Structure 1
Amino acid sequence: MTNKLPARRLLAGLALAGALAVLPPAPVFAAPAPDSFADLAETVTPAVVNISATQVVEDKTVDLPKLPPGSPLDDMFEEYLKRRRQQNGEGRSHRSNSLGSGFVIDPSGIVVTNNHVIDGANEVEVIFTDGSKLKAEVIGKDAKVDLAVLRVKPTKPLASVKFGDSDKSRVGDWVIAVGNPFALGGTVTAGIISAKGRNIDSGPYDNYLQTDAAINKGNSGGPLFNMAGEVIGVNTAILSPSGGSIGIGFATPANNAQPVIEQLLKFGETRRGWLGVRIQNVDEGIAESLGIGKARGALISGIDEKGPSASAGFKPGDVIVTFDGKPVADARALPKIVAATPVGKEVEVIVIRDGKEQTRKVTLGRLEENEAKAKKDKPELAEKAPPREEKTHVLGMDVAVLNDALREKFKIKDSVRTGVAIIKVDGDTPAAEQRLSPGDVILEINRQPVNAPDEIVAQTKALKADGRKTALLLVATAQGQSRFVALALD
C-alpha cells in the first residue's frame, strides 16, 4: 500500500522545510554552572599550603656622646643607657611574620609561591593542610614576575598539582581559588575569568588573568584552578581600596609562570633574552610620519651601544613587527617575547625602515647580566656642545642650541650629547599636547640629526613643501630617555 500526502500538505511541508533552512543557527550557550565544587576542591586542596615567612629585625640603639675614659659621668651615662634599653627593648631584635599561600608542584617537595610573600625573610616555613610544618629552602625567586620556588624535605611523597594551558582558558570560564586569606587557613572561593591580558603596571611583563573569585590578603601565591583541577594561574594581586576583595583579582598565567619556574629550578635564577633597545608604541601620527600605514609594532627610540641590537644594525626609527617568527602587536608585546627567548639564540627580526620591511639577524644577550653591569658602570662623560647664542620659535616652541648654561639650568645629563634644547612650549599647541616641556632636547627631525634651531626650521619647511602633515621628532628628556613624537605641522 502506497501512502500519498495531499498536494496542499506536501507544499506546506516543503515551504516549512525551506523556512527552516534559512533560519539562523541556534545560539550556543555555555554549560550551566556545576551543582557543586566540592569534588574539585577535595581533590586539589591537599596540595595547597600556607607559607609563613619570618624576618628578624635588629632594633637600633640611641647614639650618646663619647666620654673620656675614667670620666666621673661615665657611670651615670652607663646607668641611663641600661634603663633606656630595659624600657624600650633597644639593642634587641624582633621578629616580623608574614603569611601567604603556595602549592606543591612535585611530590618530592617543590613548592611555588609569590616572591613578595618570602622576600627579605630569614626563615620560611611551609604549613600543610594536616597542620604539619616543614622548613623551606628558597631555590630561586624573581621579582619581575613575582614568583619564588621553595624546597622542603618530606618523609613521604606530597600531594601535588599540575599546570594547565592558560592560553586555552576563556573569559567566562569557571575557576576556583584556594589559599590562606587573612591567615584563616585553607579557603576555597569560586568565580569566573573576568578578563585576560591585563596590565596593572606592576612590572615589565604584566599579562594577568583577571578573576572575580574572591582573592584577599594572604591568598598571594595560591593557585587558580580550572574545572579540570589544573593550575592555570598564580594568584598575585588584588585591586582594592580597603584591602579586601571587591571581585577584581589578578593571577599570573600558568604559561607565563612555567618558564620562570623551570629556570629557577635549573639555575636558581632567571635567564632572560636581551635585545638592547628602548621602545615605544606607534600611534597614528607616528605611523603616518614613518609611512607604515596602520599603527602597529614596537618603535625603537634608542639603542644600547653595547647591546646586541647595535652590532646587528638596528637604528632608532626602526619599527619591529616580527620577532623570531612571532608578530609584535605593540610595544607591550615585545619585551615579553624577547624575555622568553633563550639567551644566545640567533633570531630573525623583521623591521620596517623607510617604509620597507627588512630582515635582520641578532644573537640575544642576557638581560640580568646587562642590569648587573649597568649598576656598576658609571656613565661616561660626554663632550659638551660649544656655547652658542641662538634661539628661535618653531612648531610652537622656543628652542636653542644645547650649551653649558642650558645643561645647568635644566639639569640635562651628559649622556644627551648634542641637539636643540626646548626652552619654552606654547599652550594649546601640538607640542603641548604631546607633553613636550622645557629641558627636553630635540635630537632628530624627519630622521635627520639637528644641532641648531635653523636646521629644525629648514626641515619643517621641507616637510610642508612635500605635503606632509606631521613632523617626526626624536626627543630626549633631561634624564636621557628618548622617544619619538609626531607633531602636526598645522
Structure 2
Amino acid sequence: MTKRLNPQKSALAGALVLALPILAPAQTAAPSSNPVQPATREAQALPSLAPLVESVKGAVVNVDVQAKASRSEGFGQDNPLFDRFFGNGGGGQGQRREQLRQGAGSGFIIDPKGLVLTNNHVIEGAVTIRVRMDDGRSFDAKIVGRDPLTDVALIQLQGKVENLPFVKLGDSDALRVGDWLLAIGNPFGLASSVSSGILSARARDIHSGPYDDFLQTDAAINPGNSGGPLFNMKGEVVGINTAIVGGGTGIGFAVPSNMVKALLPQLEKDGAVTRAWLGIGIQDLTGDLAKAMSLPVNEGAIVSQVNDNSPAGKAGMRADDVIVAIDGRKVGSGGELTRTVALKKPGTTSVLDVFRDGKRQELKVQLGTRPDLEGVSVRQRRGGDEETEQSSKARVGVSLSNVDPRIVERTGLTSTQGALVTDVLPGSPAERAELEPGMVVVEVDRKPVRNAEELAKLIRKASPGSTLLLRVETPGGGRFLRALRVP
C-alpha cells in the first residue's frame, strides 16, 4: 500500500500554522479584512508546466524496433556503470526471439516532413522500425543516418506524412547549472510520461566514447526514455536523453543539442559522419604538470604521441607540445580539443597555438580524415546498417572491418589501409582460400583496397564462379596471394 502526499499542500499547511499568533485562552482573534499572508505563499505558487507540456508533447514519439540481437557499436561498450535505456542494452524492456530483439525507445519530430531524432542504440541493427505518435497515428520508418560515436540517429517516417507537430533544437550552450528542464518519453512502456528537474552539470565525460560532452540532469529518466527530448522552459530541445547511472536515481545524461545540430547536415545528406583528425595522442594539462614544464598556463592538451604520416606530424608537431588554442578558441582539456577538431571539415587548415619548451608559437595543420578506430563505419551506411559485413559473410564466409592503427602497432602490420579479416566461417570459400582472422586484404586483382566496404562491394559484384586474386598481409608484415572463389 502506498501513501500519496501533496507536498505543496503539506508545506503550505505547516507555514500557516507557524504564521498564526499565540493567543490567550480567553481571547479571540479579531476579524481582519487584510489577513496576513504566509511568507512562503509566493514560493509555493509555482507556475504550472501544463501549457509547456501541451505545446510540445505531440512531437514526442515512441520508437518500436525489431532488431538483430548484436553487440553495440562503439557506444558504452566498456563501461558497466552507465546504462543505456533501450532493449537488452541497458536495463531494458527487450526480449530475444529467434535472434531478434524487440524494444521500445523514444524520439522526437524535428521537421514536418517526418524527420525524427533518436539514439543510435535504439535503432541499431533494426529490421523494422515503427513510430507511434501521441495522437494515435503510427508510421513505418527508415534510417536516414546514424553516428555510433555520439549515439545519435536520424530516421524518416514513411507513408502519408502530413500535419505533423514538430519541435526545434535550442542552444544547449546557453544552459546554466540549475536551469529547469523537462523530459518526455516512453519509460517502461508508459507512453508520453513527463518529468521535470534541473541541469545538474555540464560537459560530463562518462567514458562511453571519444566525444563525451553530456548534460547531466535529475529529471526522472528510465529505460525506454532513450532518444527522447530534454526541453528547456521555452519548449526547445536542448538534449537527447541517452544514459543513466546503473542502479542510481536522479542521475541521467543527454547529448547536447548543439552537438546534434553540428551532426545533422551530414546525417541527412550522407547517412554518416566524417570527422577531421590530427593524428596525435593527448592528455590533459594539470596544474602540477604545468609547473613541472615551466608553463604560464595550467589548462590545455599535452601531445603524448604523434602518429607517423599524420596531419600533425607533417606540420611538425612534437611530443610534449602543449596545445592551448585552435583557430583562436581556447583549449581547456584533451577532450575539448578532440571534440573541436572532430566538428571541423577534413582538409581544412587550422592554426594551433602551442607551447614548446616554454615558448608559445603557432602551427598550421591541414586536418586529415579520422580513421575508423572503433571499426564502426563499415556498418553505419544509409539504410543498410550491417549490410556490408552481412553480404560478404553470407556469400563467402568472411567478416570484415577497417584497419585500426592500434592493431597495426600491436601486431607488426605495415598496412594502414585495407580490409581486416575479423572472422572466417568453417567450410566457407574464405576458409578454403586460407583466409584467417588478423589478415589484411590490401589488393584485389592487383588493385589497392582502401577499406572493408570496398572489398565487400567487390565481393557482392563478383560473378558466380569467378575467382578474386587477393593480396593479403599477415601479422608481422609478410605478404601473400590468395585465390577466393565466389560461389
Q: TM-score range by the shorter chain?
A: 0.5 to 0.7
Structure 2: how far apart are the matches of 1:34 and 1:346? Answer: 52
Structure 1: how far apart are the matches of 2:105 and 2:374? Answer: 29
SS in 1 for 2:225: coil
**Offset of 1:277 from its aligned partner?**
0.5
Q: How does 1:63-212 map to 2 (within 5 A)?
A: 93=98, 95-153=100-158, 154-212=160-218
Matched, 1:263 2:266: yes
Aligned counterpart, 2:291: 288
SS in 2 for 1:236: strand
AA matched with 2:147? D
SS in 2 for 1:175: strand
Task: Encode CA deviations 1:157-189: one digit per residue, 9 max, x unaligned.
Answer: 311000111111111111110000001111111
SS in 1 for 2:126: coil
**Offset of 1:282 from its aligned partner?**
2.1
**Offset of 1:155 from its aligned partner?**
3.2
AA matched with 1:50? N
Structure 2: how far apart are the matches of 1:370 and 1:96? Answer: 27
Distance 1:369 1:145, change over 3 A: closer
Aligned counterpart, 1:279: 282
AA matched with 1:215? I
Confirm or deny: 8 A CA contact 1:50 1:179 kept in the other structure: yes
**Offset of 1:345 from its aligned partner?**
1.0
Distance 1:31 1:152, change over 3 A: farther
SS in 1 for 2:58: helix
Task: Encode CA deviations 1:390-441: one digit per residue, 9 max, x unaligned.
Answer: xxxxxxxxxxxxxxxxxxxxxx8769xxxxxxxxxxxxxxxxxxxxxxxxxx
**Offset of 1:200 from its aligned partner?**
1.3
Q: Please point out which of 309, 330, 351 is paired with 2:312.
A: 309
Structure 2: how far apart are the matches of 1:210 and 1:290? Answer: 34
Confirm or deny: 8 A CA contact 2:372 2:403 kept in the other structure: no
**Offset of 1:380 from its aligned partner?**
10
Gap runs ≥5 in structure 1 = 1-29, 59-91, 383-411, 416-490
Task: Encode CA deviations 1:77-125: one digit per residue, 9 max, x unaligned.
Answer: xxxxxxxxxxxxxxx9354201100000000010000011111221111
AA matched with 1:309? A
Matched, 1:37 2:49: yes
Distance 1:298 1:32, change over 3 A: farther
Query: Hey, which bits of structure 1, 4+ residues long, moved more than 6 A?
Result: 30-33, 370-374, 377-382
Aligned counterpart, 1:391: none
Structure 2: how far apart are the matches of 1:375 and 1:337? Answer: 24
Q: Please point out which of 239, 253, 274 is paired with 1:233.
A: 239
Instruction: Indicate the percent of aligned positions where both proteins have the same amino acid.
Output: 44
Gap runs ≥5 in structure 2 = 1-41, 71-96, 378-400, 414-487
Structure 1: how far apart are the matches of 2:287 and 2:134? Answer: 55
Q: How does 1:333-482 map to 2 (within 5 A)?
A: 333-368=336-371, 375-376=402-403
AA matched with 2:290? A
Task: Encode CA deviations 1:205-264: one digit per residue, 9 max, x unaligned.
Answer: 1111111110000001000011110001111111131xxx61111111111111112210
Distance 1:31 1:99, change over 3 A: same
Structure 2: how far apart are the matches of 1:94 and 1:268? Answer: 26
Distance 1:34 1:105, change over 3 A: farther
Aligned counterpart, 1:432: none
Distance 1:287 1:41, change over 3 A: same
Confirm or deny: 8 A CA contact 1:296 1:330 kept in the other structure: yes
**Offset of 1:287 from its aligned partner?**
2.1
Greater Cα radius of gyration, structure 1 or 2: 1
Task: Encode CA deviations 1:127-156: one digit per residue, 9 max, x unaligned.
Answer: 111222211110111111110000013331
AA matched with 1:208? F
Confirm or deny: 8 A CA contact 2:61 2:133 kept in the other structure: yes
**Offset of 1:34 from its aligned partner?**
4.1
SS in 2 for 1:261: helix
Structure 1: how far apart are the matches of 2:139 and 2:341? Answer: 38
Distance 1:143 1:155, change over 3 A: closer
Confirm or deny: 8 A CA contact 1:56 1:93 kept in the other structure: no
Give TM-score, length-normalised by structure 2.
0.62
Matched residue pairs, number?
A: 322
**Offset of 1:354 from its aligned partner?**
1.0
Confirm or deny: 8 A CA contact 2:373 2:405 kept in the other structure: no
SS in 2 for 1:252: strand
Confirm or deny: 8 A CA contact 2:68 2:125 kept in the other structure: no
Cα RMSD (Å): 2.7
Structure 2: how far apart are the matches of 1:234 and 1:380? Answer: 33
**Offset of 1:324 from its aligned partner?**
1.4
Structure 2: how far apart are the matches of 1:158 and 1:381? Answer: 50
SS in 1 for 2:296: coil
Distance 1:45 1:296, change over 3 A: same
**Offset of 1:192 from its aligned partner?**
1.1
Confirm or deny: 8 A CA contact 2:184 2:192 kept in the other structure: yes
Give TM-score, length-normalised by structure 1.
0.61
AA matched with 2:197? G
Distance 1:381 1:220, change over 3 A: closer
Confirm or deny: 8 A CA contact 1:57 1:93 kept in the other structure: no
Structure 2: how far apart are the matches of 1:328 and 1:172? Answer: 25
Task: Encode CA deviations 1:11-40: one digit per residue, 9 max, x unaligned.
Answer: xxxxxxxxxxxxxxxxxxx99874211111
